[in-house]
Structure 1
Amino acid sequence: MRIVGYADRLSVRAGEAVTFHVSSEHAACRPEIVRLRRPGSAGHGSPLTEVRVPARLPASMPGRVQVTTSGSYVEASLETGLSTAGLAVWFLPTLPGPDARPLLAVGDLVLAVSTAGLVLRHREQALATLDVPVVKRAWAFAAATVDGSGTVRLSLHRPGRPQASVSAQAPAVRIGPGRLLIGSDGASSGGGVGRTFNGKVARPVVSATDWPESTTTALAGGADPLGLLGAASTSVLDLAAHPGGTRVPDLGGLTAGAEVRHLPGRGVPGPFWTGAETDFRRAPTEFDALHLHDDDLADAGWDADLTWTVPADLPSGVYALKVSAGDDADRIPFIVTPAVHRAPVLVVLPTWTYLAYANWRTYAEHRAERLTLYGESRPIDGRDRWLAEHPEFGRSLYDVHTDGSGVFFSTRLRPIVNIRPDYFTPSTRGFRHFAQDLLLLDWLDGRGEHYAVVTDDEVERAGTELLSRYRVVLTGSHPEYCSAGMLDSYLAYTHAGGRLMYLGGNGFYQVTARHPGHPDALEIRRGHAGVATWVSDPGEENLSATGEPGGLWRMRGRAPNVLVGVGFTAQGHDRACGYARTEASTDPAVSWVFDGVKAGAGEVFGDAGPGLGGAAGDELDRADVTLGTPADAVVLASSTGHSERIVLVPEEADHSFAAPPAGVHPKIRADIVLLGRPGGGAVFSVGSIAWSTAMTHAGGDNDTARVTANVLDRFRDETGPIL
């Protein structure tokens, strides 16, 4: 990828400005604004359709290569120089190696750790080394002191093991004013994964005076450093304070506090965690650690190249800054939301799910494992290979860090290669997420539908007040990640007469929150349930952003069934199937859903389409009154014909001694559900991610599209009760 970029936001209101950050290997590039009409590429077997938008941009913009260095750390300003010093910190290494990684740095003085032990250096000169191996994923306490004569002492305390220490004589050093750093020494790698510490740190202490070994022992035992050393000349950064923020107060007087950089894990247990509490809000002093990673990223930090003010009258839709030079091009997408709400139909693009999957590294890095999942070899997008070569651009919420721990945060302030209109997704043989949702918009355009587009961000901020301006709200294909406020807003909207069309699968599933200190980032904690590529470590189940338990909404009594009548039940990516109509679907009260569909009760429709080959595939939802599906909801159709490669999700597994039924489990199905709500409100759910892709079969002349059109027309135009 010789041209790549990102915008400072995923959505912008008409009349407001959006800024773009671009890296290009070309000397000059051509910028233009395009409206994205239909996704596609040669690999998809269908062309990309876009329309140029008059934008008064320069005919050319200079190209330059921009770089990013990842890695989380903590930074404070040290205003005065020191001739003596004491440094101490608890640490738990998660990826120890032969190269020394910094634990604490004060000006030019750095305390670092490797598999061999501790080293204290001044600039590049080692003042003392302690050759005692550290233990992976075990807490230890390191301390270093330097007195005015150049005597250096290093100590390592390991719970349950003898203390180790060493003294050395070094030239007297002067520690100049500068930065106090945790997990970094301030050296720049010039781009790429940072050389920061991988592991947890807690209870850092920095003093402008050295201290005796007895003080080191007391600090290792949990003594108050301010009582031992005094406040005026001591820094005690409180890593437990405000875990949802980015500012760390200093309980001492040596600094004015610190900034937490690049989103390390917070609200995680420290060395004195007893296990009696798993919620950091109830025992904050025990959750006083940060988990630092060399591939954490909050902001790629690129310089801005172009700012465009969106015309106030530009129609709501999906647009992109297309930056091109020769045969190279990148389309940096952004959604224009309406300045004035006039349309009867609203499409909510699930951008929180896009961010959850942003830069998912599975396709290039785990190709062999996916052969078993697919049952065949499938091509991958070339951008995934490029992504594998650039770990500094952050990971998805499905990935693990270089140290094997789960990724909590995903930011939009970086190049995200899989949020592109021509991105090819192997798991669906083509379209998924952003590109697939463009198929829905293209279908609406083909009908001449008057609609507006917003994102999860607008729903999270404006809630029911926004939704209530529209007669019908349509979801994208996979609105999996959502906050409590978003669930509340959708439910209140339908209970107040609104009509919701849930046109996807595995929606409203994962507890998610926006990070208060970094509003461009989302946070999750996987917990210990659901489909996951990692699970939370003990004591790390609560989101630092809000304090609430993470994991599945289902485990908190808010299964998707309560909102939309269906909930996640199974997944698989070998092929999709069709739906068999139920006898209940022939009742005149609901049979209008199938106007123009030849299939009768027990007969199948929707068993053709691009990608996986049908309307019921990828991830499937089913109705279940025990999980909250309203008792009067009507199941109109259920999918049939799934292979044994389609499997139940973990939370659906049977927990009993009874043998599972032979063949495909009866819970493996997608249900189409229609339900009414008070005041004329209604919900229509299709129970499958593959649905909107199947709507494009035969140029849109198919039963999947007809059912969608019938419901949309009735929801939009009928003012009385739907059922």
Structure 2
Amino acid sequence: MRIVGYADRLSARAGEEIAFCVSCEHAAYRPEIVRLRRGGSERHGSALVEEPVAAGLPDTLPGRVQTTTSGSFVEAAPVGPLDELGLAIWFLPTLPGDEPRPLLAVGDLVLEVSAAGIALRRGHAVLAALAAPPTERRWAFAVATLDAAGEVRLHLHRPDLPVATVASRAEPAPMAGVLRIGSDGTATGGLGRTFNGKVARPVVAATAWPEATTAALAGGADPIGLLVPATTSALDLAADPGGTRLPDRGGLTGGATVRHLPTRGVPGPFWAGAETDFRRAPAEFDALHLHDDDLADAGWAPDLTWTVPADLPSGVYALRTSAEGDVDRIPFVVTPARHGAPVLVVLPTWTYLAYANWRTYAEYEAERLVIYGEARGIDERDRWLVAHPELGRSLYDVHTDGSGVCHSTRLRPIVNIRPDYFTPTTRGFRHYAQDLLLLDWLDRRGEHYAVVTDDEVEREGADLLSRYEVVLTGSHPEYCSAGMLDAYLGYTRAGGRLMYLGGNGFYQVTARHPGHPDAVEIRRGHAGVATWVSEPGEEHLAATGEPGGLWRMRGRAPNLLVGVGFTAQGFDSGYGYARSAASADPSVSWVFEGVGAGVGEVFGTEGPGLGGAAGDELDRADVTLGTPAGAVVLASSVGHSEKIALVPEEVDHGYAAPPPGTHPKVRADVVLLERPGGGAVFSVGSIAWSTAMTHKDGDNDVSRITANVLDRFRDEPGPVLGEQQ
């Protein structure tokens, strides 16, 4: 990609400013604002539709290449000059290698570690080295002291081994500079030269303390009680895990800043294992897990700032940048300045962030061939992404050290949030590009609608939703906060109508990061569909302290909100739905007006991509998980192959063998339910539904059913179900 960029936000209200950061290898490029009407490309078999917007932008802008250095670390203000210095830190290496990585630094004086041992260097000169290899994924304690006469001493305490020590001499010189943990301040672009692993209890003091003090610190003694507080730094890594500032319990610094979103709320070397919630035992959760590919902000300079016109309609837009055949479309949503539309579409941007820059298609292309049973190819942007690991990973990836990625930021180029991005999983459309198909469907019907993102729902709650007659979700609103769940439930209980037009929604506990509001955080826990699981003691989100994992495991299964919940997934094909006997009741039969399929007959067997309305990820109704007893199952998917598998939390545990053939829980249910006060929910139980709606330009039964429900929800305020016959 010779031109690529990102905006400083994913949504902006009319009248607000939005800034765009672009990296371009060409001498100049052309910027244009476009409204995105439909996702697609020649490869999708469906054209991308965009409309130019009069924006008053310059004809061209100069190109420049912008770079990013990733890697998390801690940084305090400069200290010194000091004639003597003591450094100490607990560390747990997760990716020890031949290249030394910084543990603790003051200016150019760096205590570092490699697979061979620890060393103290000044600039490029090694002052002392200790050939004592640390044990991977085991805590160790490293100490370096340098006195005014130039005597250097290194100590390494490792589990189950004698203490290793070494002494040497160096030319005496004052020591001063920025205090850093996990970094020595070098930044050259690409993966940062930062420590991969956990760090805890750092100590920096203006004294070369004696060995008795080293032994006491190794035993867990408080450095403030052993050393002179005014000339000692004891940064509190346990303080405010959701923030970015660390207080110093000593007086050497005024505190420090945490850079680039390391994993926090992490058990330290003195964790007893009796408590898993860092809020109840903060002294035991005093570690950070640093990674060289952590990223909070790509740090590019803005090339263009644009004020969204006050009269610009709400919708999905992009800055289209082009030069000599290279094109990138940087997406953003214009949210409504005034709430006059009856219909609101909520784009699941937190789910987009969860999958942002997912690298599996290029990194595991051969494995994907086995999963699909066919070669589906990949988007070439994924190959470019593999060459740029510094641009951050998705919440489905693991870091370079193999630990799970639990943060995702929007302040970086995200190549799979593009209207023409090709997703092999579905042979084309998924997520952002698919949700643009829903907007195209609304446009073709002439609907008056507004668009917001998860950010607005999380921030404004039911007050925002209550201004609309009908709220439509995107195809995969998987990642959500407690506030979002409260907003949707409150909306429908107060008379609002919700159309859940997707699958695997409202599934994963997610939170906005308080210190980095452009980022979201998860903890996978130990259940659900996942490519990694949380390490012991790391199940709670640093952002909020709440337990992570699945909302279902917190007693808030999606069934409680929308009547259905995630049950199965598979990517071989899409399938159709068979109408239930209950769908013929006059109280609900209006849903099928104009639909040729009768009771027991199948509809929705065609569509782009997987080729049917029930595909990708499926949700089913289940009263034991919270589906309201009065909910009506209108249709259920049929014909699934044995390649469609139950999700882990649905697998039967016990001695009884599962039933032969396709498990009865493998299905998508279309559900209609009513709440007191006139509120109602219509759920389709499948990610593939909105793709199938576009078959034959919307002239299909899936489209008709959706239109019938939208019309009824929007135009008739009375009971949705009424008295069943």
Question: Aligning the two structures, in what range does the TM-score lie when normalised by the shorter sequence?
Answer: over 0.9
Distance, in Å, in 1 between the alignment partners of 2:526 and 2:471 is 32
Identity of paired residues, percent? 78
Matched AA of 1:184: S
Counterpart among 306, 327, 330 of residue 328 in structure 2: 330
Using the TM superposition, give the Cα deviation of residue 159 of structure 1 relative to its aligned residue in structure 2, in angstroms. 2.9
Q: Contact (CA 8 Å) 1:373, 1:572: kept in 2 or not?
A: no
**Residue 3 of structure 2 aligns with which residue?**
3
SS of residue in 2 equivalent to 1:613: coil
* Partner Cα distance (1:328, 1:413) in 2: 22
Equivalent residues of 1:235, 1:254 under 8 A apart:
yes
Q: 1:242 aligns with which of 240, 254, 269?
A: 240
What corresponds to 2:514 in structure 1?
A: 516
Q: Secondary structure at the match of 1:707?
A: helix
Shift of 1:383: 0.2
Letter in 2 for 1:412: R
Distance in 1, Cα, partners of 2:369 & 2:658: 26
**Unaligned ranges ≥5, structure 2:** none
Alignment of 1:19-34 (within 5 A): 19-34=19-34
Distance in 2 of aligned mates of 1:695 and 1:263: 40
Q: How far did 1:32 drift?
A: 0.5
Quote the residue 1:265 is aligned against: 263
Aligned position for 1:526: 524
Q: Report the CA distance between 1:34 and its aligned residue.
A: 0.2
Please list, as runs of the form range in 1=range in 2, the aligned pairs for 1:464-613 lying within 5 A after superposition.
464-613=462-611
Write the mapping of 1:633-652 to structure 2, written as runs, cut at 5 A.
633-652=631-650
- Determine if the alignment matches structure 1 residue 102 to structure 2 residue 111: no
Match status 1:688 vs 2:674: no
Which residue does the alignment assign to 1:662? 660
Question: Matches of 2:366 and 2:658 in 1, distance apart?
Answer: 29
Q: CA deviation at 1:140?
A: 0.2
Asked whether the equivalents of residues 79 and 106 of structure 2 are also in contact (C-alpha less than 8 Å), the reply is no
- Report Cα offsets for 1:607-637 as digits up to 9, x if no partner: 0000000000000000000000001100000
Q: Deviations over 1:217-267 (max 9, x none)?
A: 100000110111121000000000000000000000000000000000000
Q: Secondary structure, in 3 states, of the residue corresponding to 2:236?
A: coil
Aligned to 2:369: 371
> 1:275 matched to which residue of 2?
273
2:67 alignment counterpart = 67
TM-aligned CA deviation for residue 169 of structure 1: 1.1
**Offset at residue 719 of structure 1 (A):** 1.1
Q: Secondary structure at the match of 2:636?
A: strand
TM-score scaled to structure 2, two decimals?
0.99
Match of 1:355, SS? helix
Distance across 2 between alignment mates of 1:363 and 1:43: 17
Residue 123 (structure 1) aligns with = 123
Distance 1:656 1:605 in 2: 36
User: Mapping of 1:175-254 within 5 angstroms?
Assistant: 175-176=175-176, 178-188=177-187, 190-254=188-252
Matched with 2:39 is 39
| 8 Å contact kept, 1:248–1:260 | yes
Cα distance in 2 between the residues matched to 1:108 and 1:191:
20
Q: Deviations over 1:122-152 (max 9, x none)?
A: 1110000000111100000000000011100
Partner of 2:419, secondary structure, is: coil
Q: How does 1:707-722 map to 2 (within 5 A)?
A: 707-722=705-720
Deviation of residue 419 (structure 1)? 0.1
- The answer for the alignment partner of 2:441 in structure 1 is 443
Summarize deviations over 1:533-566 as a string: whole Å, max 9, x none.
0000000000000000000000000000000000
For 1:575, what is the secondary structure of its paired residue? strand
What residue identity is the alignment partner of 1:229? Answer: L
1:417 deviates by 0.1
Shift of 1:78: 2.1
AA in 2 matched with 1:404 = G
Q: Secondary structure at the match of 2:576?
A: strand
Task: State the shift of 1:372 in Å.
Answer: 2.0
CA distance in 1, matches of 2:409, 2:256: 21
Answer yes or no: is 1:408 the counterpart of 2:403.
Answer: no
- AA aligned to 1:52 is P
Give 1:49's aligned amino acid: V
CA deviation after TM superposition for structure 1 residue 481, in Å: 0.3
Q: Cα deviations across residues 463-498 of structure 1 (Å, max 9, x unaligned)?
A: 000000000000000000000010011001000000
Q: Distance in 1 between matches of 2:498 and 2:45?
A: 32
Q: Distance in 2 between matches of 1:148 and 1:309?
A: 58
> Helix, strand or coil for the counterpart of 1:56?
coil
Give me the whole-angstrom Cα distance separating, in 1, the residues matched to 2:59 and 2:120: 54
CA distance in 1, matches of 2:384, 2:305: 27
Deviation at 1:507, TM superposition (A): 0.1
2:295 and 2:79 mapped to 1: Cα distance?
Answer: 27
Q: Please, which runs of 5 or more residues in structure 1 have no aligned partner?
A: none
Q: Could you state the TM-score of these two structures normalised by the residue count of structure 1?
A: 0.99
1:285-324 equivalence runs, <5 A: 285-324=283-322
2:135–2:158 contact (8 Å) kept in structure 1: no
2-structure distance, mates of 1:108, 1:379: 48
2:621 is aligned to 623
Tell me by how many angstroms 1:79 deviates. 3.9
- Cα distance between partner residues in 1 of 2:519 and 2:65: 25
Q: Secondary structure at the match of 1:240?
A: coil
**How big is each residue's C-alpha offset from its partner over 1:167-217, in whole Å with a ceiling of 9 and x where there is no partner?**
0011112213x20000000012x2100110000000000001110111111
User: How many residue pairs were aligned?
Assistant: 721
User: 2:79–2:179: 8 Å Cα contact kept in structure 1?
Assistant: no
Deviations 1:417-458 (Å, cap 9, x if unpaired)?
A: 000000000000000000000000000000000000000000
Q: How far does residue 404 in structure 1 lie from its aligned partner after superposition?
A: 0.1
**1:32 partner amino acid:** E
| 1:98-177 alignment, distance < 5 Å | 98-176=98-176
CA distance in 2, matches of 1:719, 1:215: 75
SS in 1 for 2:374: coil
- Look up the SS of the partner of 1:678 in the other structure: coil
RMSD after superposition: 0.5
Q: Structure 1 residue 161: deviation in Å? A: 2.0
- How many angstroms apart in 2 are the aligned matches of 1:49 and 1:692? 17
Which letter does structure 2 place at the counterpart of 1:87?
A: L
Q: Would the aligned equivalents of 1:373 and 1:645 in 2 still touch at CA under 8 Å?
A: no
> Is the 1:439–1:696 contact (alpha carbons within 8 Å) kept by the matching residues of 2?
yes
Verify the 8 A CA contact 1:78 1:254 in the aligned structure 2: no
Amino acid at match of 2:509: V
Q: Distance in 1 between matches of 2:625 and 2:238?
A: 37
Q: CA deviation at 1:326?
A: 1.4
SS of equivalent to 1:506 = coil
C-alpha distance in 1, partners of 2:238/2:83?
30
1:88 paired to 2:88: yes
Render the CA deviation track for 1:244-297: whole Å, top value 9, x for unaligned: 000000000000000000000000000000000000000000000000000000
SS of residue in 2 equivalent to 1:679:
coil
Q: CA deviation at 1:160?
A: 2.9
Q: Which amino acid is 2:233 matched to? A: S
How far apart, in 2, do the equivalents of 1:195 and 1:363 lie?
26
Cα separation, 2, equivalents of 1:701 and 1:326: 39
CA distance in 1 between counterparts of 2:462 and 2:152 reads: 63
CA distance in 2, matches of 1:73, 1:161: 29
